[in-house]
Amino acid sequence: MGRSKEITKAYFELIDQHIKEVAFGHAEEFKEIQQIASELFVSHQHLSATIQKETGHHPCYFYDQKIIDTAKKMLIESDESIAKIARRLTYDPSNFSKFFKKLVGNTPHIWRINHRK
């Protein structure tokens, strides 16, 4: 495996673990991309260029998508209020709803209604 693929794989593993830590209250806030790059022993620019080259998207794209995936899982599996889920994911509830709607196309409330069994 080449270095670019190693960095990409490590990036995905790190953000998956970190998002879980935030969701479960083991971390107080999300790390910035430059913090993640530092943990991977590369510069912010190198991380961004590598992820872009390997995937066609900026690292933030995947970070946001994985946060949304976690939020969706929490909305389906939990009876917690949307505001509480937003706070667990370090968002102000109104900003979370805007972020969620921008990426998903519906508010968390409508999405929850449509996807609960």
What's the confidence (pLDDT) of residue 66?
A: 96
DSSP code at position 31: P
CATH superfamily of this structure's domain 3-115:
Homeodomain-like (1.10.10.60)
- Categorize the per-residue pLDDT at 116 as very low, low, confident or very high, splitting at 50, 70 and 90: confident
- Categorize the per-residue pLDDT at 1 as very low, low, confident or very high, splitting at 50, 70 and 90: confident
Q: Is 30 helix (H, G, I), strand (E, B) or coil?
A: coil
- In the structure encoding, which two tokens stand for residue 49, read together? 């260029």
| Per-residue pLDDT tens digits for 3-41 | 999 999 999 999 999 999 999 989 999 999 999 999 999
| Per-residue pLDDT tens digits for 63-101 | 999 999 999 999 999 999 999 999 999 999 999 999 999
Residues 4-33 as b or e (16 or more Cβ within 10 Å = b): eeebbebbbeebeebbeebbeeeeeebbeb
pLDDT at 56 over 80: yes
